[in-house]
Structure 1
Amino acid sequence: MQGHGYAPPPPKRPSTGALVVLRVIFVAVPILSIGFLAWVAPLRAAIVTHRRADWWIFGGSLVVLGISFAYLSTDHTDDFSSPNGNVGMIILLLNAAACVGHYLYADIRHYHRLYPMVYLPPQAPAANYVYPQPPSPYAATHPQTPVTPPAPAPHTPAPHTPVPPPPQRPAPARIDQVRAELDELSDYLRKRDGHYDGGRDGR
């Protein structure tokens, strides 16, 4: 019984630098030739993509180029300043712009479909990876006894400290008594000072 065989390897994607250089060349040729070589860009697109629509566009560019040549051939001035010359130059330049735009679109779409960009998710850092340790022969001969964590100590509530009551103001009767004593003391001192002064004068 024969197998299906090996699948052919996928075509290698051209380097980005080579693609950029080719695109610059096939864009510059129609512009630098003032549209006379505009058919080069759609021809390149048709060869790369192998699509029937691109070949039809290449043929259409040749037809438009022939129409512009027909107008330019009827112009007998040196700078294409006649109405036919102006129409022929406008058609020529528009054809060049359309050919360049189609070539860039077809070429970019072709390589994007053929080699889609694949974004890989970021990988976890290797520093967090824990490597498994090989079993120790000591652990095989001396099995470890599971250590039971100590029981938590019972929570003892803190003793309640009584809050002293705020100081009370003395009663009005006490104030009156103190005031009376102060008055008596003032009278006594006044009398004593008077007696002391009289005795000193008599002497």
Structure 2
Amino acid sequence: MHGHGYTQPVKQAPPTGLLVFLRVFFVVISVLSFGLLTWTMMLRLAIVTRKALDWGLFVAVMVAEVLGLYLMGSEPGDEIHTAGGWTGLALLLGSLVSAISYYLAADIRHFHQLRFAGYGLQQPPAPAYGYPQPPQPQSPYTAATVPQSAPPSAPAPMPQSPAPQPPLPTTPPPQRPVPARIDQVRAELDELSDYLRRQDGNHEGGR
């Protein structure tokens, strides 16, 4: 028979304190660098989630930063006077605000789903077909109030009809030899008649 097989290892989420520290750290360095290190947030998010969308946003943030720095660097003088300089600054600040918002929402959602999936996989697997189901633990509060269901009783065996027996051979009653019995009675009667005659003869002779 085939068993349940090997279960895939469940990826555990890091502690909540470590996640909060990493989120704050990447946001702070992005803000303090005025958007120059915004790509670090998106790189960490893409490595953690491994989604094509996050890798695409990481590339987009890198392009926006490079283009913004180029436009601001092409501005004559130390201050921004042209539309190109303002466009470069808008790209840096806009990518910074958008990346922070998306980074925090996606990171929190990812680890929340990971933790929820880990809790779901810790439940005992359903028994496979043909294997007995282990008894489920019961709360002591419900054990006293909910009656235990009686196990299904085995069906009573059906009474089997006795096999037909062959009829017993009937033996005829013994027949007495009727002629021999008649002859015996007749002989006894003859003897009785002879005896009576002798008795009568004796009585007549005595007179």
TM-score bracket for the superposition, by shorter chain length: 0.5 to 0.7
TM-score, with length taken from structure 2: 0.53
Contact 1:69 1:88 (C-alpha < 8 Å) held by counterparts: yes
Offset of residue 11 of structure 1: 1.7
Contact 1:46 1:55 (C-alpha < 8 Å) held by counterparts: yes
Q: For residue 52 of structure 1, what is the aligned residue in structure 2?
A: 52
Structure 1 unaligned residues grouped into runs of 5+: 119-124, 131-203
Q: For residue 116 of structure 2, what is the aligned residue in structure 1?
A: 116
- Aligned to 2:36, the other structure's residue is in SS state coil
For residues 126-157 of structure 1, what are the alpha-carbon distances to aligned partners after superposition, in whole Å with 9 as ceiling and x for unaligned?
79997xxxxxxxxxxxxxxxxxxxxxxxxxxx
Greater mean deviation of Cα atoms: 3-12 or 40-49: 3-12
- Aligned to 1:6, the other structure's residue is in SS state coil
- Aligned to 1:59, the other structure's residue is in SS state helix
Supply the AA of the counterpart residue of 2:84: N
TM-score, with length taken from structure 1: 0.54
Equivalent residue runs for 1:79-98 within 5 Å = 79-98=79-98
Q: For residue 25 of structure 2, what is the aligned residue in structure 1?
A: 25
Q: Give the CA RMSD over aligned residues.
A: 3.0
Structure 2 unaligned residues grouped into runs of 5+: 120-138, 145-207
Contact 1:41 1:103 (C-alpha < 8 Å) held by counterparts: yes
Q: For residue 169 of structure 2, what is the aligned residue in structure 1?
A: none
Alignment coverage as a number of residue pairs? 127
Q: For residue 12 of structure 2, what is the aligned residue in structure 1?
A: 12
Q: 2-side partners of 1:58 and 1:113: how far apart?
A: 22
Q: Name the % identity.
A: 36
Offset of residue 18 of structure 1: 0.3
Poorly superposed stretches of 4+, deviation over 2 Å: 1-6, 79-87, 125-130
Q: 1-side partners of 2:143 and 2:3: how far apart?
A: 42
Contact 1:35 1:93 (C-alpha < 8 Å) held by counterparts: yes
Q: 1-side partners of 2:80 and 2:37: how far apart?
A: 18
Offset of residue 4 of structure 1: 5.3
Supply the AA of the counterpart residue of 1:26: F
Structure of greater Rg: 2
Q: For residue 42 of structure 1, what is the aligned residue in structure 2?
A: 42
For residues 41-92 of structure 1, what are the alpha-carbon distances to aligned partners after superposition, in whole Å with 9 as ceiling and x for unaligned?
1111111100001101111111111221221121122243544323211221
1:67 paired to 2:67: yes
